[in-house]
A and B are shown apart, each in its own frame.
Chain A
Amino acid sequence: MRWIEIGNLNDIPRRGARCVATPVGKIAVFRTGDDRVFAMEDHCPHKGGPLSQGIVHGAAVTCPLHNWVISLENGQAIGADEGSVQTIPVKCEGETLFISLDELGRERAA
């Protein structure tokens, strides 16, 4: 797996998110209140809302367009809604963040 550096943990506010622009689309990178980091496509399974603009709570984000709640851990919609977002591997070494687009690239290529 190839890891690409995307920045520092502190670039993302706690309980917030930032975007990473990539050739295969925008990736939302989330930081939870307890400093865990998650990444997924910035695209709600419902109507494509930018999840990076939602409110982060626990290990979930609420989409700003129609309030779907998406689990950051597995990309699945929580509650009555059904759908899922492609999650992206992300790691934090020290305070430096890396993501891997390997899986995303493969999926797109297929």
Chain B
Amino acid sequence: MKEKLIIIGNGMAPGRMLEHLFERAPDRYQVTIFNAEPRVNYDRIMLSPVLSGEKEFEEIVIHGDGWYIDHGITLYKGHKIVEIDREAKTVRSDHGVTESYDKLVIATGSVPFILPVPGNDMPGVLTYRDLDDVDAMILAAQSHAKAVVIGGGLLGLEAAAGLQMRGMDVTVLHLMPTLMERQLDPSAGYLLQRALEDRGIKVKTKAETKAVIGKGKAEAVELADGSTIDADLVVMAAGIRPNAWLAKEAGLETGRGIVVDHGMRTEDPDILAIGECAEVGGHTYGLVAPLYEMAKVAAAQLAGDTEAAFVHSDTPTKLKVTGIDLFSIGDFADGEDREEIVLRDATAGVYKRLILKDNRIIGSVLYGETADGAWFNDLKKREVDVSEMRDTLIFGQAYQGSAPLDPMAAVAALPDDAEICGCNGVCKGKITEAIASEGLSCLEDVRTHTKASASCGSCTGLVEQLIAATLGDAYTPNEIQPVCGCTELGHDEVRRLIKAKGLKTIPEVMQELEWKTSCGCAKCRPALNYYLVCDWPNEYADDYQSRFINERVHANIQKDGTYSVVPRMWGGVTNADQLRTIADVVDKYDIPTVKVTGGQRIDMLGIKKEDLPSVWGDLGKAGFVSGHAYAKGLRTVKTCVGTDWCRFGTQDSTGLGIRIEKFMWGSWTPAKVKMAVSGCPRNCAEATCKDVGVICTDAGFEIHFAGAAGLDIKGTEVLGHVETEDEALEHIVALVQMYREQGHYLERIYKWVKRVGLDEVRQQIMEDQEKRIAFFDRFVFSQKFAQCDPWSERVSGKDKHEFKPMAALELEAAE
């Protein structure tokens, strides 16, 4: 019969412990878990990206429900254990469930430290510990109101950055003179403060909180100096305390945490404690690496290996705020017996400091450029005598003697016991061995087998280099096509980083993403301009110098340098007045060619650039607006005459086409978007070769997409069927917005769909109502800023310089 193992708590440490345990002794225990949180095990250190919106909760789940089922684990979600009866060997939950154990593991983690000040329990005061806290903060952030974060340590700053990215006005209060003083020296703390302030986060140091004040809910924070700071949300992130009361109640020895020996055992031989609640050798821990180490030791003990022992080691600190690179390890205090090496580069915002004792590194603080962190850490761990390379040590590994500048070779040169992944304590040798023995060939495989880069992900680049160095030519990374020669990054990565880092101008993107050219090229600039227009509709100022000429002057350039002009004809419908105006304009400006387009409109070709504004002026008087025939944006919505005239028409296809066009005109998209609505399956509007098409039937509307009839010819795919016009519009708009947010610049819808998968698009647009509505809402929001007729703007004088020579030299002047 299996022994009964009960675990109190379902955080990262016990989750990891079980993985090890199932590996070592798969059939030994019948496992029961009590989790006070009503959910499965997730990666708590990734809560910050969830808060900031860079990740979804689903992405940080470590063990889904299926994992518990597969391992026969009974998981009590939302059950808090209130009593351990050591004599009866049972535990009891607050819902009254009692279970007995042979072995018990306490992994109750920690509780946030609540400042003992008046008002600390008012509504609007939160802590930052679990997903419920994050959800509450995200909800509060929707009001875009003011937030005060108390605590300028790791947790507080990640909370502040997340809330700020969610649109809140954030102030950080920190008791000490500089931020993160436990991990950073004052110089680095200052740089960090400046970087946060540059993002718009206010920082107040030496700020002692006296009270949270407000009527019935938090309204402000009062400081000891008498000043107050308005706050609709107060986040207490001033530290954590090991959660040891349950063990204490049960009569186990506790200090700061639950006292355990190096085998993670409490004084009761059947009870172990791991994670943040455990105190071993006088230390308690908050970073994930030592907690995973505890998990490993506890699993070994439970599997019968009584020799397994926990060894204390320093863990590097990294701040998970996108765009801020800092690294610190070890002891960096000044001292008589210590020397320091400092490098500063003010313009680049780089600060590096190494602390040496007896020619050995005992600590380091890196800010702004942290690539050498692993190397310094390795030298420290191995206590390498650095006197030989002291002069160039601070410049990093690349500058050491014959050591190569190539990062790949640098990785190859690392010793086997060099730590690659700090979170999971994975060293180089373990990865290379796994690659060889398991025949691994990609990052995902390495993650699965070794856990390297599976937690915070900051070592991903290093792991990839290591795979490449190990496999040589056999390694084919997911071939990513760079945007252009100015960068190594692909479109997806650029789009992701624009959002994640909150980059809002082209120079900012180029600086932060390390563009190799000073101002890009004709490939990347229009792409970046589009991405910024799409991602920050209300904030980004369109850069016309980064637009292709057609979009800059709102007409189509022709081979002789003249332009063609296509006014919008909603749904392809026109009338005598409009036609008369066009005829007059053609006469007045001596326009050589007039042609009907494939999208049911009229094209006037051969217009001199100087004449464009007055041509538009005349067209505008008859109510014409730009047809965007030049745009990577919505072009036409072609229609048939539908029920108005056609004896076969089933729905008002003309009306729907006009409605869609009026709703969506002016929107910019990765590439042109052509649509059509046919009133019956005879499909006279040729909707089944468009980017988006609708076929009306008696039963409603069949939405098609991903067709093409240009360079490639491709029939559409069916997105799905809807019953009403309103629904048709909502689905089409959501689809286009999804494409706007994910498409690579110049990638038509059919290519985008090929890349992301038909089912994925169908799932998000047809089945996931929440997602669909969110896409729809974002499109509507961006249209507020996009729907202004560019022609009338220019008729009234905008960009005048575009249309006139700066000077016209007479013959005499030139002579």
Contact = CB atoms under 8 A, between A and B. Distances in A.
Contacts of A5: 807
A47 B559 contact: yes
Given A4-B809, A22-B809, A55 B814 contact: no
Max count, chain A CB within 10 A of own CB: residue among B519, B561, B806, B811: B806
A50 B814 contact: no
Given A6-B807, A22-B814, A23-B811, A53 B557 contact: yes
Contacts of B806: 6-7, 11-12, 18-20, 29
A56 interface: yes
B630 to A, nearest CB: 11
Interface stretch (B170-178, B232-240, B263-271, B542-550): B542-550
A33 interface: yes
Contacts of A1: none
B810 interface: yes
Contact of A21 (B548, B557, B807, B815): B807
Contacts of A50: 557, 561
B813 A53 contact: no
Q: Which 6 A-B pairs have the closest CB atoms?
A: A62-B522, A18-B806, A55-B522, A6-B807, A21-B808, A53-B549
B551 to A, nearest CB: 11
Max count, chain A CB within 10 A of own CB: residue among B546, B550, B814: B814
Contact of B519 (A19, A20, A33, A48): A33
Contacts of B548: 55, 64
Contact of B557 (A14, A19, A65): A65
16 contacts: A4-B809, A12-B806, A13-B544, A15-B545, A18-B805, A20-B805, A22-B808, A22-B809, A54-B522, A55-B525, A55-B545, A55-B548, A57-B521, A57-B522, A58-B521, A65-B559
Q: How big is the B interface, by class?
A: 20 to 34
Interface string B543-584: 011111110110001011100000000000000000000000
A5 B810 CA distance: 12
B526 interface: yes
Interface in B515-546: 517-522, 525-526, 544-546
A69 B522 CA distance: 9
B549 A34 contact: no
B407 to A, nearest CB: 27
Contacts of B550: 64
A70 to B, nearest CB: 11
B559 A4 contact: no
B805 to A, nearest CB: 4
B2 interface: no
A41 to B, nearest CB: 13
Contacts of B547: 55
B809 A56 contact: no
B755 interface: no
A101 interface: yes
Max count, chain B CB within 10 A of own CB: residue among A12, A33, A47, A69: A33
Contacts of A26: 805
Contacts of B549: 53-55, 64
Contact of B521 (A32, A49, A62): A62
B510 to A, nearest CB: 11
Given A4-B814, A21-B808, A57-B517, 15 more contacts: A16-B545, A18-B806, A20-B805, A23-B809, A23-B811, A23-B814, A24-B814, A32-B519, A33-B518, A48-B561, A53-B552, A55-B526, A55-B545, A55-B549, A64-B548
A83 interface: no
Interface string B793-811: 0000000010001111111
Contacts, number: 98
A14 B559 CA distance: 26
Interface of B: 517-522, 525-526, 544-550, 552-553, 557, 559-561, 801, 805-811, 813-815
A53 B519 CA distance: 17
B807 A20 contact: yes
Max count, chain B CB within 10 A of own CB: residue among A33, A57, A101: A57
A87 to B, nearest CB: 17
Contacts of B545: 13-16, 55-56
B801 A21 contact: no
Contacts of B809: 4, 6, 20-23, 101
B241 to A, nearest CB: 54
Contact of A58 (B519, B557, B814, B815): B519
Max count, chain B CB within 10 A of own CB: residue among A5, A29, A50: A50
Contacts of B522: 54-55, 57, 62, 67, 69
B682 to A, nearest CB: 40
Contacts of A69: 521-522
A91 to B, nearest CB: 15
Contact of A49 (B561, B811, B813): B561
Nearest to A22: B809
B608 to A, nearest CB: 12
B805 A64 contact: no
A90 B156 CA distance: 56
B507 to A, nearest CB: 9
Nearest to B546: A55
Contacts of B552: 53
Contact of B518 (A4, A21, A58, A101): A58
A16 B799 CA distance: 12
A90 to B, nearest CB: 12
Contacts of A18: 801, 805-806
Contacts of B814: 4, 22-24, 101, 105
Nearest to A16: B545
B295 to A, nearest CB: 53
B561 A53 contact: yes
Contacts of A4: 809, 813-814
A19 B521 CA distance: 21
A11 B522 CA distance: 22
A82 B335 CA distance: 65
B542 to A, nearest CB: 13
Contacts of A15: 519, 545-546
A48 B557 CA distance: 13
Contact of B805 (A21, A34, A48): A21
Contacts of A47: 559
Contacts of A19: 805-806
A56 B552 CA distance: 13
A51 to B, nearest CB: 10
A29 B807 CA distance: 11
A32 B518 CA distance: 11
A34 B811 CA distance: 33
A66 to B, nearest CB: 10
Contacts of A21: 805, 807-809
B300 to A, nearest CB: 60
A48 to B, nearest CB: 8
B245 to A, nearest CB: 62
Contacts of A12: 801, 806
A58 B808 contact: no
Contacts of B520: 57
